[in-house]
Amino acid sequence: MNYKRFFFTGKVWLAAELLVLLLLASSGAWANDIRGEVRSDAPAAPLEHAVNAVEAMAMEAARDTAASASSATAMSTSPRQTPLVAVQDAVKSVLNSALETVQSNSLVEAGMASWYGSAFQGRRTASGERFDMNQLTAAHKTLPLGTVVQVRNPLNGKTVDVTINDRGPFIKGRIIDLSYRAALALGIVQAGRQPVEVHRR
């Protein structure tokens, strides 16, 4: 038996094993093997730090988005809530806020309103029905007859829903002619004329 060749081969295997052990120890896998943990697909430490950083950024973005979407509604996230759920809640909040903005942005036009009353009581309107100053009606130049709109007085915030049943006003600078009762509800009877906003219903 060639003892020199045997010891040389043993030394090579020993060096190879030491090299493998050093590599395992440096990667952290050797320590996990000692504890009995199997981590064949365990990510490297830099990747874990990157994932944690991304999750932290997602949580911060979710908080910022929710705060800008609604200052009155605080974003409530439980400790168990994942960053993905937090981001989804923030997106829903933003979309709901945008939908409310679109729905509230129903302005048809803004301009001067006037009213008419007893002098026209009982006369035929463009719709064929007789004018009744005590009904919530109005005259408009272009809106379809039978259309219901909301008229708002921006000076006092009062609103009233009126049905368009007549044509007018035919005086330059005026956009709508309200019945006496509608003008009374808006608080513009005394003034006679008042800037208003006309909104879709």
- Per residue in 73-129, pLDDT (tens digit) is 444 444 455 666 766 676 666 556 555 544 555 888 999 999 999 999 999 999 999
pLDDT of residue 63: 67
Q: What was the pLDDT predicted at 201?
A: 84
Q: How far is CA 11 from CA 7, 18, 23, in A?
A: 6, 10, 18
| Residues of the chain under the 50 pLDDT cut | 2-8, 29-47, 49-51, 54, 72-79, 101-102
* Model pTM score: 0.49
Q: How far is CA 27 from CA 13, 21, 34, 51, in A?
A: 21, 10, 13, 19
Q: Which residue has the tokens 């006496």?
A: 180
Q: Which fold has domain 107-200?
A: Barwin-like endoglucanases (2.40.40)
Structure tokens at 182: 């509608």
Q: Are 191 and 158 in contact (CB under 8 A)?
A: no
CA distance 186 to 171: 21
At residue 107, the pLDDT reads 85
Q: What pLDDT does residue 148 have?
A: 96
